[in-house]
Chains A and B, each alone.
Chain A
Amino acid sequence: MRIAVASGKGGTGKTTVAVSLALSAPGRAALLDCDVEEPNAALFLKLNGIEESAVTVPVPVIDESACTSCGECARFCEFNAIVHIGTTVMVFPELCHSCGGCALVCPVDAIREEPVAIGTLACASVSRAGESPLRIIQGLLSIGNAMSPPVIRAVKDRSAAEQEAGAVDVFEIIDSPPGTSCPMGTAVTGADYVVLVTEPTPFGLHDLDLAVKTVRKMGIPFGVIVNRSDSGDDRVVRYCGQEGIDLLLQIPEDRRIAEGYSRGQPLVESAPEYRSVFSALAVRMKTSARPASGGVQ
């Protein structure tokens, strides 16, 4: 059961909701921090046994002794990552999307692919009161790299590999990057349910609408959580009503939550009455999830 927490607008409370869901979900749970350009879920958790590993992508390396300078690779590359000038073939690894096409079209096998590190995975466990420990897997894109989707996929693949070993249904909670472009799409792909977190402001509504259109196009069931629900107006609530969207929860402003947040304390600890609310929400999402892939038990 995979639940993605996304938003459209940044700073609405995705991580607050994702951490709360992960700490409250019944049974086995994993939190996947896929906001790899600025992962921050771990700031709210006490991690045990951190293991780190590199995320690599294959990029082409040209064997100049074998290269006949035919230019097929440069013509094939959609991303201008290979340039052919005279007898020189230049590779720009930062533009490479690692499709492997250049190596396939090279008629003399002068191109091999070598792994280049673009980020780091960190895995750890977090103990939970009255429940089995929470597994957390975080992706971090290295500074200077621009393509986050491979790191996001690595986080999801790692979690999938760990689950195959366990063979028990796990509540996987994905903390998605903001926006509605490739990073968000990569994080949300394959989710059984999406939670869209927003705020009751014009900006919050504008970006919620974009996120709703995206998730509808992806065909994934979804619902909305309005954070700091009494800080703006009722336009988001009215929008959900008009669009027939499931309004899962409204979280009013609360000084305890803000103070806890400033100390790195999760919402369900600074306002413990929310623990049963999020636990019930996790179960409710499971029943609303896409039937085809939901409930792997």
Chain B
Amino acid sequence: MKIAITSSGKTPDSQMDSRFGRAAAFIVFDTEDDSFTALDNTQNLEAAQGAGIQAAQHVVNAGARACVSGHTGPKAFKVLSAAGIPVYLAPGGTVADVYQAWKKGELKQISDADVEGHWV
């Protein structure tokens, strides 16, 4: 299965981006063979609004079945939930470390958004 992790860069040695909607990129790992692809999210960095929604849509379209970030707001969470994608939170570190932590079951799945929505 595929898992998307918010990233500040295009490779797994990048630091995880703690933001969801305005993350610089997503690194999408395939758990079958630990291969990855990078998904650019910079168009959302510039979005006036709805960044979380659009980012969630990207994650869904990329075929991810799980998602890890530092924080997730209510609109993004609603979209991910509708798509049946569980959201896990990680405190930080490189994307590769976050991926390993997730594989070991060390990350906590959230049942609701952990931060307030931004002012539109």
A contact set with B: CB distance below 8 Å: 79-81, 83, 85-86, 88, 90, 92, 94-95, 146-147
Question: With an 8 A cutoff between CB atoms, is B31 at the interface?
Answer: no
Question: With an 8 A cutoff between CB atoms, is B54 at the interface?
Answer: yes
B120 engages A85 (CB within 8 Å): no
Contact with A along B27-40 (1 / 0, CB 8 A): 00000000000000
Question: With an 8 A cutoff between CB atoms, is B79 at the interface?
Answer: yes
Interface size class of B (residues with CB under 8 A): 10 to 19
Contacts known (A83-B79, A85-B83, A86-B83); A94 close to B120, Cβ less than 8 A: yes
11 more A-B residue pairs beyond the given contacts A85-B79, A146-B120, with a C-beta to C-beta distance below 8 A: A79-B49, A80-B51, A83-B56, A83-B57, A83-B79, A85-B57, A85-B60, A86-B83, A92-B53, A95-B53, A147-B120
Q: How far is the CA of A140 from the CA of B79 in the complex (A)?
A: 31
Q: How far is the CA of A146 from the CA of B78 in the complex (A)?
A: 20
A90 engages B78 (CB within 8 Å): yes
Residues of chain A within 8 A (CB-CB) of B60 are: 85
CB distance from A10 to the nearest CB of B (A): 17
Question: With an 8 A cutoff between CB atoms, is B71 at the interface?
Answer: no
Cβ contact of A95, chosen from B49, B78, B83, cutoff 8 A: B49
Residues of chain B within 8 A (CB-CB) of A90 are: 78-79, 82
Q: How far is the CA of A95 from the CA of B82 in the complex (A)?
A: 18
- Please report whether the interface of chain B is mostly helix, strand, loop or mixed according to DSSP: helix
B contact set with A: CB distance below 8 Å: 47, 49-51, 53-54, 56-57, 60, 75, 78-79, 82-83, 119-120
A80 engages B82 (CB within 8 Å): no
Cβ contact of A80, chosen from B49, B78, B119, cutoff 8 A: B49
Q: How far is the CA of A243 from the CA of B60 in the complex (A)?
A: 54
Residues of chain A within 8 A (CB-CB) of B83 are: 85-86, 88
A146 engages B75 (CB within 8 Å): no
Contacts known (A83-B57, A85-B60, A85-B79); A146 close to B50, Cβ less than 8 A: no
CB distance from B117 to the nearest CB of A (A): 8
Contacts known (A88-B82, A90-B79, A92-B75); A83 close to B119, Cβ less than 8 A: no
A80 engages B54 (CB within 8 Å): yes
CB distance from A98 to the nearest CB of B (A): 14
Closest to B79 in A: A83
Residues of chain B within 8 A (CB-CB) of A88 are: 82-83
Q: How far is the CA of A80 from the CA of B51 in the complex (A)?
A: 8
Q: How far is the CA of A119 from the CA of B82 in the complex (A)?
A: 30
Closest to B74 in A: A92
Closest 8 A/B residue pairs (Cβ): A80-B50, A146-B120, A80-B53, A85-B83, A88-B82, A95-B50, A80-B54, A85-B82
Residues of chain B within 8 A (CB-CB) of A92 are: 50, 53, 75
